[in-house]
Chain A
């Protein structure tokens, strides 16, 4: 038999972690419970973070927005602050699972699962999000791109809790785009996804652009060279074809039950072509 504790404060979390440093942390359970059952009996104890008050909700300071790690995806989508400041993140979250999954799954869970297909991850990379980690001995903060080290791998240490995702308010993008390719609309794990944000002039000339792809590399694929391709240009066919070539060259996908390596490489590059003519008068 395996114990499952559902603490309601961070103090209680750390007290329980002191007793059971190897406890497995989860929040919504939409990843952990699927992977664990029926092996749960051998893999606990579990610490469920879904009720920890300090880990819930979306708050802002003068310069940053702090999204508690146990904020459910449906709450993230409903947050006016997120809709106003980070529409790209909201749009990506809307593509995850289906309503019941979004009522359970959390932003922190999507980050800690660190799946190459995690749909909130490409926007979080574009937004230069930081993660805030706490343990009994202290607190640290790092960019999400440093926190996620490989498929399912993060820098989270034993006894450490992801408390929040922190995003700077000053992003300066006026155009955003998210598209996910899956085998169907709901309950589909991404075969490839593109998050794109740009600051453009009224005529559509790109001042700066950021691109991030999901599901086509061990972690989110970003490229400075790719981002720079758009600078000073409008999103016309020539520019996008140049970008597509960089994408085909740069991604490093795998073949699995959902799609082949070749398909992922091609569809990732094709996704950028969707932007033709976009970014004007917004």
Chain B
């Protein structure tokens, strides 16, 4: 018994037959081939599987396929537009906020969602905003530097930094 679901994925409409109890992370990675979204803990604790659901950060490893229906989903593959990196991605590159890279897609998604809510955060607010995402390389300082830098870029109209 598969169920048909339709949703907007990185700006394009998707319609598919899917087991409604399948995890959203598996639909994205295995059925749709978008392997940028990572699975770390598989229990909603590490943030590696973060995606934007109607512009809000959620965890795709504890979300069912059925819950994707009708939603606007953005994964790391859809954060940048027209072949350009998103300012958050640029800041991560420029500030060396990437070590092994496994947490990076989730970190970028979390930062994009956080900066939509709080475009001019203090470092302390960035720490709280990113607190659900774990970097096992412990590269937190540079990640916070990057989010701070990205905030300035976005406030400055996308070209600063």
- With A46-B21, A101-B59 as known contacts, state yes or no: A186 contacts B66, CB within 8 Å: no
For residue A62, CB closer than 8 A to chain B, the reply is no
Q: Is B114 interfacial (CB-CB < 8 Å)?
A: yes
B131 within 8 A of A: yes
Asked whether A44 is an interface residue with its Cβ less than 8 Å from the other chain, the reply is: yes
Q: A3 near B67 (CB under 8 angstroms)?
A: no
Contact B44 A34, beta carbon cutoff 8 Å: yes
A100 touches B50 (CB 8 A): yes
Q: Count of chain A residues with Cβ under 8 Å from any Cβ of B? A: 28
Residues of A close to B23: CB separation below 8 A: 33, 37
Q: Which residues of B contact A48 (CB under 8 A)?
A: 64, 66-67
The A/B interface has a contact count, at CB < 8 Å, of 89
B68, chain A: closest CB distance, angstroms: 9
**A282 contacts the other chain (CB 8 A):** no
Q: Which residues of A contact B58 (CB under 8 A)?
A: 100, 103-104
A7 to chain B, nearest CB (A): 11
Most buried by B among A5, A6, A44: A6
Asked if A33 and B132 sit within 8 Å, CB to CB, the answer is no
The answer, yes or no, to whether A41 is at the interface (CB within 8 Å) is yes
B47 at the interface (CB under 8 A from A): yes
Q: Which of B119-133 contact A (CB under 8 A)?
A: 128-129, 131-133
Chain A residue nearest to B50 in the complex (CB): A100
CB distance from B156 to the nearest CB of A (A): 24
Is A29 in contact with B64, judged by CB distance below 8 angstroms?
A: yes
Least CB distance, A3 to chain B, in whole angstroms: 6
A100 touches B64 (CB 8 A): no
Of all chain A residues, the one with the shortest Cβ separation from B117 is: A99
Cβ contacts A1-15/B at 8 Å (1 or 0 each): 111111000000000
Chain B residue numbers with a CB within 8 Å of A44 are 21
What is the CA–CA distance of A29 and B64 in the complex, to the nearest angstrom? 9
Closest CB-CB distance, A42 to chain B, in whole Å? Answer: 11
A-B residue pairs, 7 tightest by C-beta: A98-B132, A186-B131, A33-B62, A4-B66, A4-B20, A2-B21, A100-B57
Query: Known contacts A4-B64, A41-B21; can you find 15 more A-B pairs with CB under 8 A?
Result: A1-B1, A3-B20, A4-B20, A4-B21, A6-B67, A29-B67, A30-B59, A34-B44, A98-B132, A99-B57, A99-B110, A100-B58, A100-B110, A100-B132, A187-B132
A-B contact pairs, 21 of them (CB 8 A): A1-B2, A1-B19, A3-B20, A4-B67, A29-B64, A34-B43, A34-B62, A40-B21, A46-B21, A46-B64, A50-B67, A74-B56, A99-B113, A99-B114, A99-B129, A101-B59, A103-B58, A104-B62, A104-B63, A187-B45, A187-B132
Q: List residues of chain A with CB under 8 Å of any chain B CB.
A: 1-6, 29-30, 33-34, 37, 40-41, 44, 46, 48, 50, 74, 97-101, 103-104, 185-187
